Amino acid sequence: MYKNRRTHLQQQLNNDYLALFFSGKAPYKIGDEKYYFTPDRSFYWLTGLDKENMILLLGNYQGQDFTYLFIEPYDEVMAKWIGGRMLPKQAQEISGITNIYEINDLWDIIGNLLNRNFSDKEKLNVYFDLNKQEANQITQAIEYVHKFKEYYPNINILNSYPIMAKLRMIKDEDEINKLKQAIHITDLAIQNMMKNSHGNIMENELEAHFDFVLKCNQCEHSFPSIIAGGKNGTILHYSDNNQMVKDGDLVLCDLGASYQYLNADITRTFPVNGKFTDRQKQIYDIVLRGNKYIMNMVKPGLTLRQLNNELIKFYETELKQIGLLDNGKKVSDYYWHGVSHMLGLETHDVTIANYKLEPGNVFTIEPGLYLEEENIGIRIEDNVLVTNDGCINLSKDIIKEPEEIESFMAKYHK
């Protein structure tokens, strides 16, 4: 699988090139403590390897492709403290790469390749995967860009990000299966929250019920969970999760399980005591119908911007009918985010401006309405897979009909 992915990438690159991808390094937090390491997702997509300080070097010379992997040497002393680094044999078994060297050999091998094969450096393209975050920080990729320009000033530095993004946006069978598993575990965890909810519960207690299921299923979080009760549900990226949810309030939970680095991103909103008020159900029904309306519109050729514009038109009609657009109010007073983003190895996965949907894309559909003065925040988010003529709702089993929610919660709220 990883060989095939690398082949697909190399078919998109010009002849006579080098392309580098970095697994990354965990920065130090304080003293000798590091932040939790997570691999660069393009590197992982191409290799299946998730260890620190690895470099993938792809190249082509006169129509011949070659692949090198550079890893840290095994250290017996460090192994006793933090565990052993990956051995070349292990890296080869996972990635399918046979040319594996120690990380310190990188520049010698690059020098040999260039001096042996690329006599005319002005025709050599060197690709780096430079996403939008690279502009704001000095990453390994940026460091190596500077080194290449210093050592070989006449080469052409190119960005492989647009090519990688298009490849990664089309999910293969392995990715779709892992996404389904991540969504299934998210479903189980949401159910555990709903089973254990009650009036005057703390947000972080609900969060603990979600976390327990993830840990029992060998999953990490796709992103820090949002567990927002009452008015907190009107804060788009609320993250404190430390307030009491009063009896009668709604709980907006935006969260997801990450299974082998594939991320679910689900939002459900439910009454903490198991019963919607009439007003809550009225607003909830509009958001739910908006969710279904956009889902039914999905087809190849549309953009996410077009879907969002359609949702705004839908809201203009619906909110006007219940008086929320009186006195100069606008849809943007109640809804101010996009309805969709790409999903995959990153929660907000790679994308390209004005990209037109293709079969194999996976993205979110997440309409919301936020009425701060009424302590009502509602968002309903599903994860869908684009097909040849529409989409499949990968999260269809996670209940969202208000009657289903009330019926489910009634079993545990005697």
Structure confidence by residue, pLDDT tens digits, 36-86: 889 999 999 999 999 999 999 999 987 889 999 999 987 776 666 666 678
Q: Is the pTM of this model over 0.85?
A: yes
Provide the residue ranges of all domains of the chain, joining segments of one domain with +: 2-168, 171-410
Looking at the domain 171-410, which fold is it?
Creatine Amidinohydrolase (3.90.230)
Cα separation, 263 vs 246, whole angstroms: 31
Lowest mean per-residue pLDDT among 138-147, 162-171, 242-251? 138-147
pLDDT averaged over the chain? 93
**pLDDT value for 31:** 75
- Does pLDDT of 385 surpass 80? yes
Q: Which of 6-15, 135-144, 193-202 has the highest mean pLDDT?
A: 193-202
Lowest mean per-residue pLDDT among 4-18, 104-118, 149-163, 244-258? 104-118
| pLDDT single digits (tens) 293-324 | 999 999 999 999 999 999 999 999 999 999 99
Distant-in-sequence, close-in-space partners of 376: CB < 8 Å, separation ≥ 6: 233, 234, 250, 279, 280, 283, 369, 370
DSSP codes, 125-171 = EEEE---GGGGGS--HHHHHHHHHHHH-TTSEEEE-HHHHHHHHHS-
Ramachandran quadrant class, 326 (left: phi over 0; alpha: psi -120 to 50; beta: rest): beta
Tokens 């207690």: give the residue: 205
Q: What percent of the chain has pLDDT over 70?
A: 95
Q: In the structure encoding, which two tokens stand for residue 170, read together?
A: 């089309």
**pLDDT value for 119:** 65
Q: Within 10 A of 43 (CB to CB), how many other CB atoms are there?
A: 20
Q: Which of 353, 351, 376, 375 is nearest to 364 (CA)?
A: 351
Cα separation, 56 vs 226, whole angstroms: 36
Cα separation, 354 vs 376, whole angstroms: 33
**pLDDT value for 113:** 86
**pLDDT value for 78:** 67
Q: Are 385 and 362 in contact (CB under 8 A)?
A: yes
Q: Which band of pLDDT confidence, cut at 50, 70 and 90, is reported for residue 134?
A: low
Cα separation, 298 vs 312, whole angstroms: 16
Looking at the domain 2-168, which fold is it?
Creatine Amidinohydrolase; Chain A, domain 1 (3.40.350)
Q: Are 255 and 383 in contact (CB under 8 A)?
A: no
Ramachandran quadrant class, 156 (left: phi over 0; alpha: psi -120 to 50; beta: rest): beta
Q: Which band of pLDDT confidence, cut at 50, 70 and 90, is reported for residue 131?
A: confident
- Backbone φ, ψ for residue 34 (5° rounding): -105, 155
**pLDDT value for 28:** 80
**pLDDT value for 369:** 98
| pLDDT single digits (tens) 193-249 | 999 999 999 999 999 999 999 999 999 999 999 999 999 999 999 999 999 999 999
pLDDT (average), residues 1-9? 96
Q: Which of 75, 53, 341, 372 is nearest to 222 (CA)?
A: 341
- Does pLDDT of 399 surpass 90? yes
Which residues on adjacent β-strands are paired with residue 60? 17, 65
